Amino acid sequence: MEVTISTAELLTTDGIPLKQSLRKAERRNKLRAFLLVFPLLLFIIVTFVMPIGDMLLRSVDDSQINSVFPNTFEEYKNWDKGADELPPEEVYKSLFFELANGDKRQIGKALTRMNYAKSGWKSLIKKTTREIKKIVKKGEEPVSYKDTFIKINKFWGDPTYWYSFNQMVNDRSSIYYWNALDRTFDEDGDVVLQDEKRRMYIKTWLRTFKVSVYVTIFCLILGFPVAHLLANLPLRYSNLLMIFVLLPFWTSLLVRTTAWIVMLQQNGVINGILVWLGVISDDGRIQMVYNEAGTLIAMTQILLPFMILPLYSVMRVIPKSHMRAAQNLGAKPAMAFWRVYLPQTIPGISAGGLLVFVLAIGYFITPELVGGKDGKLIGSWIAYHLKTTLNWGLCAALGGILLGIMLIFYWLYNKIVGIDNIKLG
Amino acid sequence: MNDISQSFVKFEKIDKSYDGEVLVVKNLNLDIAKGEFVTMLGPSGSGKTTTLMMLAGFETPTNGEIFLDTKPISKIPPYEREIGMVFQNYALFPHMTVAENLSFPLEVRKISKPDIKEKVQKALDMVELGNFGTRFPAQLSGGQQQRVALARALVFEPRLVLMDEPLGALDKNLREQMQYEIKHIHDRIGITVVYVTHDQSEALTMSNRIAVFNDGVVQQLSTPDILYEKPENSFVAKFIGENNTLNGVVREVNGSSCTVELDGGFGMVKALKINVNEVGEKTQLSIRPERVSIDKTTSDSNNFSGKIEELIYLGDHIRARLDVCGNNEFIVKVPNEGSFNHKEGDELKLSWNSEDVRALDL
């Protein structure tokens, strides 16, 4: 039989093209749906998308200093480092006037930035500015600006100071990202490792990873049986147990963290009991807090609900008859669990795992309080630079890397498990 | 036939309680022969599923012993019983394809790959799903899932197959079709089947014998025709098929028959004496609607009249609801022969043979 497909446009009874008519009919609904989500959309854009965008821009932004010393940097680019030991006269001249006439507050900000590139800039320029202002006041015009500078301070004849300009001459700079990975630029603008005593980020990144992976694994090991129990007990008991799981959610994070300090410290509850039981001697009290172990223990307990809840929601809908069917078909209980039950919990395991890992990698308060010196995670550095050094560029770069890592994991996860397999409830 | 081959499955004095206070199954004694299709029929909570679960090994009898092929099986775990089972909601493993579901029982038995492939294909062909091996259960319709569950329960050649309301989730047409299919598969491979259902028509269609459960006790165990035509107590009479009841008191006992005086002074009925013994005992009379004649008289003097309350036209027959001897739920099925011309409100002459009236317990 021959089938003919009409290629003509479909029309409604009134002769209007069907698609147009459908669009018109749907428009009202679409508009209403949009208006309903609009407030939330606006909220998310203002409180989430914009701050993140601003942070990402800040991590590569170096325009402030360029607005303070525009001419100096312009001249600086003409310096042929191979031919001359020091920059040409024009560089000194531009700097002279820009320091003499510049806005004091803006220069102050720029100095902070310069100090990141090389420590010592701040005091050098402050001293120099005072001298320059004196010269300007007297109305003298120096014969050689270069010599004047060097006369004021001999460091102006030290090319290493000038080399550090290299990383600031562009409006956009990747220096913060390199700094966040213990790298910096050398005089030729090549990426090199920081001095050994200034390397701390790579170590912290690795520790952050290690702790996050361990916490995720511990949460899975501890959470899986609990979730299984919750999903299979009669409702009466499982509701009661669920309250125990959720109770930590309703308790302040600080309270829980400090409670762990009370439990784990050397004169704490656990050590006390162990000494009393004679398991350890009074001198042999175990150091369980203010180190990596403390971070691991406290974070595992705090993040455990995030593993249990997705697992529970997945396990609850696995029919009990599946384990029975598997046994009926000849599989021993362990085999039935491995082949039939476990594969069906994978959406829960991956949801819980991803959730716990992502939360752990950016965790701050708990590692900060119980981590001591060697239990701190990258979040602590972000907070430190945000509050103490005010190096927001570096903060933004650390945060940007964190965000990037999460996105990579998300992508990997989607590749391996498939994001539509995730189940949170 | 000797006794051992007679009872392939034997329940002996089985009691089952979950909480130590209520007996869910009471003193169950049941023998199932090899190759038989036995259905446990009963309302929900009657203990039929519990009995099935004890046989499968998921529940332990509180008392008594179950024998399979003359060996006691109470101590054998479910995975060593070699009993196939079709679960109520099929319990197909959603993360495995149809073929993987079927090869699972073979894989755990460490059967070689080529053999598995062959057996799986054979089982799929048996349920007419030969080309569906690579699909996932979620991609199948309810009826197809049902067949996969059936094939999976049979693929490892179990000694016995249990089915726990396997057709409960299907719509009516599909259910009837599957009933015949299961029956045909049973006829073809001759496996012993224990089937649980609360649907009496399903039980009547498929079974060699039916055990009617109520309140943890087997009320009657017989072939479908005997169960329908000769119910031994009023529960069975009410549960299987349609049934008219009249209450009364036994006035005279005469061998296998008796005479009953109806409550309310509506007269005397001659009936078969089933489970009443003495004069003066209260009884419930049971008459099947199709055994009541209209406009005829019998020599048994079981002649009464009833007022038509409602007539329902059903094509092949007319269903009349009458008020007879104080019971206004009395149903009569009139074959549609074209000669019935009564209206609602008319009085009808009714009669029945005394062999068709059974005096049962009240």
Closest CB to A331 among B83, B108, B152: B108
Q: How confident is the model at residue A172 (pLDDT cuts 50, 70, 90)?
A: confident
pLDDT at residue B336 in the model: 85
Average pLDDT over residues B334-351: 84
- Indicate the residue among A147, A179, A211 that finishes a domain: A179
Query: Torsion-angle region of residue A150: left (phi > 0), alpha (psi -120 to 50) or beta?
Result: alpha
Whether A215 and A161 map to the same domain: the answer is no
Sheet holding B293-294, edge to edge: B293-294, B347-351, B303-313, B317-324, B327-335
Which chain B residues are Cβ-neighbours of A322 within 8 angstroms? 91, 93
Tell which residue, B327, B213, B238, B322, has the closest CA to residue B288. B238
β-bridge mates for residue A75, sequence order? none
Whether A298 and A389 map to the same domain: the answer is yes
Helix (H, G, I), strand (E, B) or coil at B136: coil
Q: How confident is the model at residue A159 (pLDDT cuts 50, 70, 90)?
A: confident
Which chain A residues are Cβ-neighbours of B77 within 8 angstroms? 327
Q: How confident is the model at residue A249 (pLDDT cuts 50, 70, 90)?
A: confident
Residues 107-166 of B with CB under 8 A from A: 108-109, 152, 156
Whether A355 and A224 map to the same domain: the answer is yes
Instruction: State whether B78 and A324 contact (CB < 8 Å).
Output: yes
Q: How confident is the model at residue B191 (pLDDT cuts 50, 70, 90)?
A: very high
- Provide DSSP, A315-332: HHTS-THHHHHHHHTT--
Whether A292 and A248 map to the same domain: the answer is yes
β-bridge mates for residue B39, sequence order? B195, B210
Average pLDDT over residues A346-366: 90
Tell which residue, B39, B34, B28, has the closest CA to residue B8. B34
Whether A158 and A253 map to the same domain: the answer is no
pLDDT at residue B107 in the model: 94
Q: Which residue of A has its CA nearest to B59?
A: A324
Structural domain contains residue A363:
yes
Residue B276, pLDDT > 90, answer no
Alpha-carbon distance of B191 to B189, in angstroms, equals 6
Instruction: Tell me which of B42 and A422 has the higher pLDDT.
Output: B42
DSSP state for residue B233 in the 8-state scheme: S
CB-based contacts of A254: which residues, under 8 Å, 6+ apart? A365, A369
Residue A64, pLDDT > 50, answer yes
Burial A287-301 (b: 16+ CB within 10 A, else e): ebbbbbbbbbbbbbb
Average pLDDT over residues B310-320: 89
Angle between helices A392-416 and A104-117 (to 10 degrees): 50
Instruction: State whether B95 and A344 contact (CB < 8 Å).
Output: yes
Tell which residue, A124, A93, A90, has the closest CA to residue A110. A124
Structural domain contains residue A250:
yes
Residues of chain B by 3-state class (helix, strand, coil), percent to 5: 30, 35, 40
Helix (H, G, I), strand (E, B) or coil at B284: strand
Pairing assessment for the beta strands B268-273 and B358-360 based on DSSP bridges: parallel
Average pLDDT over residues B9-20: 91
Tokens of B125: 């062909």
Instruction: State whether B108 and A319 contact (CB < 8 Å).
Output: no
Which chain B residues are Cβ-neighbours of A349 within 8 angstroms? none
Instruction: State whether A330 and B95 contact (CB < 8 Å).
Output: no
DSSP state for residue B355 in the 8-state scheme: G
Residue B1, pLDDT > 60, answer no
Q: Which domain holds residue A110?
A: 64-179
Structural domain contains residue A115:
yes
Whether A168 and A208 map to the same domain: the answer is no
DSSP run (H or E) holding B172: helix B172-189
pLDDT at residue A1 in the model: 47
Which chain A residues are Cβ-neighbours of B146 within 8 angstroms? none
Whether A225 and A107 map to the same domain: the answer is no
Could you tell me if A324 lies within 8 Å of chain B, comparing CB atoms? yes
Q: Judge contact between A90 and A78, C-beta under 8 A.
A: yes
Residue B351, pLDDT > 90, answer no
Could you tell me if A332 lies within 8 Å of chain B, comparing CB atoms? yes
Instruction: State whether A329 and B82 contact (CB < 8 Å).
Output: no
pLDDT at residue A7 in the model: 58
pLDDT tens per residue, range B69-99 = 889 998 899 999 999 999 988 999 999 999 9
Alpha-carbon distance of A306 to A309, in angstroms, equals 6
Structural domain contains residue A143:
yes
N- to C-terminal Cα distance for chain B? 38
Whether A168 and A262 map to the same domain: the answer is no
Which chain B residues are Cβ-neighbours of A336 within 8 angstroms? 79
In one-letter notation, the amino acid at residue B131 is: N
Q: Judge contact between A228 and A315, C-beta under 8 A.
A: yes
Structural domain contains residue A32:
no
Tell which residue, B266, B195, B193, B247, has the closest CA to residue B357. B247
Closest CB to B78 among A322, A328, A340: A328
pLDDT tens per residue, range A70-121 = 888 888 888 887 788 888 888 888 888 888 888 888 888 888 888 888 888 8
Query: How many structural domains compose chain A?
Result: 2
Average pLDDT over chain A, rounded to an integer: 87
pLDDT tens per residue, range A125-139 = 989 988 888 888 888
Whether A213 and A71 map to the same domain: the answer is no
Residue B2, pLDDT > 50, answer no
Query: Torsion-angle region of residue B261: left (phi > 0), alpha (psi -120 to 50) or beta?
Result: beta
pLDDT tens per residue, range B198-256 = 988 899 989 999 999 998 899 999 999 999 988 988 899 988 888 899 999 998 888 88
Tell me the torsion sign for CA atoms A213, A214, A217, A223.
negative
pLDDT at residue B3 in the model: 45
Structural domain contains residue A30:
no
- Indicate the residue among A179, A210, A236 that finishes a domain: A179
Could you tell me if B94 lies within 8 Å of chain A, comparing CB atoms? yes
Whether A260 and A342 map to the same domain: the answer is yes
Whether A286 and A247 map to the same domain: the answer is yes
Q: How confident is the model at residue B122 (pLDDT cuts 50, 70, 90)?
A: very high
pLDDT at residue B4 in the model: 45
Which chain B residues are Cβ-neighbours of A329 within 8 angstroms? 79, 84, 104-105, 108, 152, 156
Structural domain contains residue A378:
yes
Whether A278 and A396 map to the same domain: the answer is yes
What is the percent of chain A where pLDDT is above 90? Answer: 32
CATH number at residue A211: 1.10.3720.10
Closest CB to B85 among A322, A328, A343: A328
Number of C-beta neighbours around residue A41 at 10 A: 12
Tracing tokens 């009808």 back to the chain, one arrives at B348
Structural domain contains residue A78:
yes
pLDDT at residue B299 in the model: 65
